[in-house]
Homo-oligomer: A and B are copies of this chain.
């Protein structure tokens, strides 16, 4: 079975997010002063082929996030896995 993975990676909550701040300030400069708490992260989509079950797909994805996709020291990650028909 094949699976579609959607991964969101963000800086840990307590860390300063300069990129998020810069985007927030740019939005305010464009007149959107009601925008607060802007946080910028990465969004990754990928396909996992030939994996027997959802739990195995999630296990593989967890491992890939910890080893490569996210930096566990400063980032948190969340993901969804959906079976591809």
* Chain A interface (Cβ < 8 Å from any Cβ of B): 8-10, 20, 23-24, 26-27, 30, 32, 34-51, 60, 64, 67-69
**A51 in complex: contacting residue of B8, B34, B44, CB < 8 Å:** B34
> Chain B: which residue is nearest A60 at the CB level?
B32
Q: How far is the CB of A63 from chain B (nearest CB, A)?
A: 8
A47 touches B37 (CB 8 A): yes
**A64 in complex: contacting residue of B20, B32, B48, B51, CB < 8 Å:** B32
B35 touches A68 (CB 8 A): no
Subset of 21 A-B contacts with CB under 8 Å: A10-B43, A10-B45, A23-B44, A23-B46, A26-B68, A27-B46, A30-B68, A32-B60, A34-B50, A34-B51, A35-B48, A35-B64, A36-B46, A37-B45, A37-B46, A37-B47, A38-B46, A39-B44, A39-B45, A40-B44, A42-B43
